[in-house]
Structure 1
Amino acid sequence: MRAALWLLALFGIAAAVALFAGNNQGTITVFWPPWRVDLSLNLVLLLLVAAFMLLHLALRGLSALFSLPVQARQWRMQQKERALYGALLDALAQLIAGRFSRARKAAQAALMQEKTLDARLPQAQQVRVLSHLLAAESAQALQDRPARDAHLQQALNESVDRNALPAPETREGVQLRAARWALEDRDAPAALARLEELPQGAQRRTLALRLRLKAARLDRRTLEALETARLLAKHRAFSNAAAESIVRGLATELLSSAHDPAQLQSAWGKLEPSEREMPEVAIHGAQRMALLRGDLAIARGWLLPAWTRMVEQPQSVSDSLRVKLARALEAGLDSVDAEWLARIELAQRNNPRDPNLQYLAGMACMKRQLWGKAQQLLTQAGNGMQDAGLYRRSWQALATLAEARDDTDQATVAWKRAAQTETP
């Protein structure tokens, strides 16, 4: 369609020129003494057009001639830029391929190529920083720490060059890599110091938080690691199961770092409500309180959510956690109150076949000198117990009861069953 319109336009122009030139009788007389030259107006117009075209072509030719040195200089610059970027890409490719010596040589070649440029590139600062960073990464892989530190310092110096365009992301990237190298060297304080140099916004990025978590765990800063893990969980940096496992492990480690009951209660207060409701954390806290000879009533309060969960949702608590919960409650049976005794008795009645509840209720009855009921519950627990530790403790308690009754034969059988190392 466009070609047809152009063809019609050309025909129209040709027709207009033919009409104008065909009936044009005008002449132009040029007096050049002693001559007189008469020229047709059409010829004069053609000559003017031809002269204009000739002048235009001449000017274009002169312009092209005088621009040859500039074009040659630009061509040389272009070749050098291509060599620069080629060396930079080669360094990156060699680094990814694990050829670290070649990667460092290519990065150094890129730096040398950048110095030979006659004009300054708009991205010259980033090119130099990335070249130093690639060289430093290669030196780190080769365990050449002096070369790594030298390139790292040059990259940091280049990233704060005031004469270049600001590129904060480039400097932040260098600092993050430096923090990771410090972690690889098992130097947690240096890694944390590098992370502290980042701007506030960059410190909350997922990569920075991951590095902070590793550094804090390596430096035994459990509370800081726990806070970082919470942020990573909110950012969905881990799966739900992984985030829960990490937070649970750090919460348990925080409780383990307490060396007296006051420190333990302070550590417990720093946990979030969802962390306190984790059965593993609550059980560990109660066990730690018993080990430190603290207030066991407080420990039982910590265990209440886990107990309620075990009673109301038996399938949600594993057998190993049931055993640990029973042991944690057993440690405080000497001072247990009537309310907890009622909870234990009610749970055992509602689930009479659970050996862990039978053992716990039997030990509670034994502490209250209810010998007959204690013997009945402990015998049931000993016959059905799967955990070797509770199995042994059940029969030890039965042997003690038998000895209290002067029943030597029953005590011997119970001690023999207790001495067995395998579960029935």
Structure 2
Amino acid sequence: MRAALWLLALFGVAAATALFAGNNQGTVTVFWPPWRVDLSLNLVLLLLLGAFILLHVALRALSALFSLPRQARQWRLQQKERALHAAVLDTIAQLLAGRFSRARKAAQAALAQERTLAALDARLPQAQQVRVLSHLLAAESAQALLDRGARDAHLQHALNESAERGALVSPETREGVQLRAARWALEDRDAAAALARLEELPQGAQRRTLALRLRLKAARQDRRTLEALETARLLAKHRAFSDAVAQSIVRGLATELLSGAHDPAQLLRAWTELERVERELPEVAIHAAQRMVLLRGDLALARAWLLPIWDRMVEHPQGLGDTSRVKLVRALEAGLDSVDADWLARIEAAQRNNPRDPNLQYLAGMTCMKRQLWGKAQQLLTQAGLGLQDAELYRRAWQALAQLAEGRDDAEQASAAWKRAAQLGNS
């Protein structure tokens, strides 16, 4: 369609020109003494048009001739700029391929090309960012080659370049340099330096998932359990881990925080640092109660920590794993000497509601033994000894039965019970 319109326009111009030129009887007379030259107006117009075209072509030719040096310089700068970009890309490719020596050489070549361009007064818009990234890639290669001196030198250059006033480097570039520096400090097992690097980041960057992951590793490496726990909570809120992994990490850190307490007061402070959801984790609550028993603290408080776990086990017997059930029984057994009437009622009610549970039989039997209810204790412990799967509880049950038999002067029963306990211990 466009070609057809152009063709119609061309025909229109040709027709108009033919009409004008065909009927044009005008002449132009040029007096050049002693001559007189008569020219038709059409010829004069054609000569003027030709002269204009000739002058225009001559001027364009002169302009192209005088611009050749400038074009040659631009071409050379363009080739150097392409070589610079190619060196940066080659650095990244070599680094990803594990060719760290070649990657460092390519990064140094990129820096050399950038210096050459700067010496030629070629203002690249991304010159500073290219320098920062080249230094960063060179530092990454040096870190892989365990050349910490070269790594620190390139890192300092990258930080200095990105910190200059009026720099065109984006904030993300400097933050990336700081994050890489924190990761290198972690690889050097220098957790304090890694945390210091992370503290230099802006507040928004400190809450990014990558920064939080580095902070978690650094805090755990530096034994800052509470800080690591707080960081793990943030990562869990950011969905950085699956629910199972997040719960496992938080559980481990909460247990580690409780293990760091060396007296009942420290243990209580550590317990108050935990969130409600963390306190209701069976492993955490049981470990806290065991630490309280070990530190000879308030056993009533330890049992209060265990109460939600106990209620969960009673209401949903299958909701608590066998390992957690055994640990819960052990933790409660350690404080049976000071157990109150409410807990005695809970233990008896739970055993009656689930009479075939060997763990509850064992706990109720040990409770009866502490209360000098010898007959009931023997009955419950005998039933538990036949069904317990945990080796430690099995051994304790038969040891208690042996002690009960010795109290009745029943040497034969005592010997048999001691034998069963010893056989398990030897196996």
Q: Distance in 1 between matches of 2:401 and 2:221?
A: 47
Secondary structure at 1:342's aligned position in 2? helix
Matched, 1:182 2:185: yes
Query: What does the per-residue CA deviation read over 1:297-333, in whole Å, with 9 as the maximum and x for residues that have no partner?
Result: 1111111121122122222211111100100111111
Cα contact 1:179–1:195 (8 A) shared by 2: yes
Corresponding residue of 2:284: 281
Q: Report the CA distance between 1:151 and its aligned residue.
A: 1.2
Supply the distance in 1 between the matched residues of 2:29 and 2:299 (Cα, whole angstroms): 127
CA distance in 2, matches of 1:166, 1:89: 19
The answer to whether residue 48 in structure 2 is matched with residue 48 in structure 1 is yes
In the TM superposition, what whole-angstrom CA distance separates every residue of 1:330-371 from its partner, at most 9, and x where no partner exists?
111111122222222222122111111111111111112222
Deviations 1:30-78 (CA, angstroms, capped at 9, x unpaired) = 3333333222222222222222222221121111111111111100101
In structure 2, the residue matched to 1:139 is 142
Other-structure match for 1:75 = 75
Q: Which residue of 2 aligns with 1:240?
A: 243
Q: How does 1:7-406 map to 2 (within 5 A)?
A: 7-117=7-117, 118=120, 119-406=122-409
Q: Which runs of 4+ in 1 moved over 4 A?
A: none
Shift in Å at residue 422 of structure 1? 6.6
Cα distance in 2 for residues equivalent to 1:423 and 1:391: 13
RMSD: 1.5
**Residue 277 of structure 1, CA deviation:** 0.7
Q: What is the rounded CA distance, in whole Å, between the counterparts of 1:330 and 1:405 in structure 2?
A: 24
Instruction: Name the SS of the counterpart of 2:146 in structure 1.
Output: coil
| Aligned partner letter, 2:17 | V
Quote the Cα distance in structure 2 between the aligned partners of 1:110 and 1:169: 21
Question: Is the Cα–Cα contact under 8 Å of residues 114 and 124 in structure 1 kept in the other structure?
Answer: yes
Tell me, in whole angstroms, the C-alpha distance in 2 between the residues paired with 1:332 and 1:172: 53
For 2:111 and 2:418, the matched residues in 1 are separated by: 80
Identity of aligned residues (%): 83
Change (3 A) 1:333 1:33: same
Q: 1:34 to 1:164 in 2, by over 3 A?
A: farther
Secondary structure at the residue paired with 1:259?
Answer: coil
Check conservation: 1:385, 1:423, Cα contact below 8 A. no
Structure 2 residue runs of 5 or longer lacking an equivalent are none
AA paired with 2:15? A
> How many residues of Structure 1 are paired with residues of Structure 2 in the alignment?
424
- What's the CA shift for 1:29? 2.5
One-letter amino acid matched to 1:380: Q
Unaligned runs of 5+ in 1: none
Q: Does the C-alpha gap of structure 1 residues 21 and 216 become closer, same or farther in structure 2, counting only changes over 3 Å?
A: same
Q: Distance in 2 between matches of 1:12 and 1:423?
A: 116
TM-score normalised by structure 1 residue count: 0.97
Separation (CA, whole Å) in 2 of partners of 1:28 and 1:307: 120
The aligned amino acid for 1:350 is N
Amino acid at match of 1:80: K
